[in-house]
């Protein structure tokens, strides 16, 4: 974890003019099941932002990780996932716009990916929805891991497994927009999720409170 904070600090200076506020970084399950990581604007510890990275990526039991490769490669992969989340952090903290209609992967996100990518010598990416002349470019939802040189992660990252699986399922493999790697916080979703975990009598209590609240307005 220390090395993730070190990466965060140097990237904050290098790519974000040092303006981001130190987040809480956790090796913890992100909110949505297929996501590799997520960034929310409120941390459980009360700091400004929270970044969660799926533990299976480090442990090596995730479908896109080959556990028979050096740990160093997995750490490089985790660091790149962190860099991706830092752009979401920048959207929320600096722009005040999480580009929710693009699930976070909109034009502003792309612009930042490509500005950083130019400094790192990476190919350009497009917004998550594949359209027009840019549709053959990789999606920013998978930046930067999809545009890193093949050997960069020392074999730790195995995108082939995902693609083979997709072909078997009969998808064309050309449109990967459903593979969102993360999503911003969604208050309503959170509320619904919590509500579904409540016992029946608490649910009723909750509903009555909401009704009372609606009447007041």
- Helix, strand, or coil here: 197? helix
Q: How far is the CB of 92 from Zn ion (least distance, A)?
A: 12
**Rounded Cα–Cα distance for residues 83 and 74 (Å):** 14
Q: How far is the CB of 27 from Zn ion (least distance, A)?
A: 18
Give, for 126, the enclosing helix (H) or strand (E). none
**Rounded Cα–Cα distance for residues 187 and 208 (Å):** 20
Per-residue contact string for residues 40-79; x = within reach of Zn ion by CB under 5 A: ----------------------------------------
Q: How far is the CB of 196 from Zn ion (least distance, A)?
A: 26
* Closer Cβ to Zn ion, 23 or 104, answer by number: 104
- Helix, strand, or coil here: 165? helix
Helical spans, DSSP H, in 68-106: 71-90
User: Is it true that the peptide bond before 144 is cis, omega within 30 degrees of 0?
Assistant: yes
Site for Zn ion, residues 15 to 34, rule: CB under 5 A: none
* Closer Cβ to Zn ion, 104 or 117, answer by number: 104
Q: How far is the CB of 109 from Zn ion (least distance, A)?
A: 7
- Helix, strand, or coil here: 62? coil
* Closer Cβ to Zn ion, 137 or 154, answer by number: 137
Per-residue contact string for residues 177-216; x = within reach of Zn ion by CB under 5 A: -----x----------------------------------
Q: Residue 111 gets which letter from DSSP?
A: H
Nearest to 143 by CA among 181, 90, 176, 174: 181
Binding status of residue 99 toward Zn ion by CB under 5 A: no
Find the residue with minimal CB distance to Zn ion.
182
Q: Which residues bind Zn ion (CB under 5 A)?
A: 104, 182
């Amino acid at each position: 974890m220390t090395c993730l904070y070190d990466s965060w600090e140097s990237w904050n200076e290098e790519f974000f003019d040092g303006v981001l506020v130190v987040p809480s970084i956790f090796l913890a399950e992100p909110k949505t099941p297929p996501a590799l990581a997520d960034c929310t604007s409120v941390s459980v510890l009360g700091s400004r932002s929270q970044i969660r990275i799926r533990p299976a990526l480090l442990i090596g039991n995730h479908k896109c990780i080959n556990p028979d490769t050096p740990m160093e490669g997995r750490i490089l992969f985790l660091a790149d996932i962190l860099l991706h989340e830092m752009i979401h952090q920048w959207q929320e903290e600096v722009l005040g716009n999480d580009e929710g209609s693009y699930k976070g992967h909109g034009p502003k996100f792309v612009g930042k990916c490509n500005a950083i990518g130019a400094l790192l010598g990476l190919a350009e990416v497009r917004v998550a929805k594949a359209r027009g002349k840019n549709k053959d470019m990789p999606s920013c939802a998978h930046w930067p891991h999809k545009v890193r040189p093949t050997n960069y992660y020392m074999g730790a990252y195995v995108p082939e497994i995902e693609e083979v699986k997709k072909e078997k399922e009969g998808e064309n493999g050309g449109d990967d927009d459903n593979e969102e790697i993360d999503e911003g916080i969604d208050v309503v979703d959170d509320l619904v999720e919590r509500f579904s975990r409540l016992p029946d009598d608490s649910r009723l209590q909750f509903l009555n409170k909401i009704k009372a609240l609606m009447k007041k307005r």
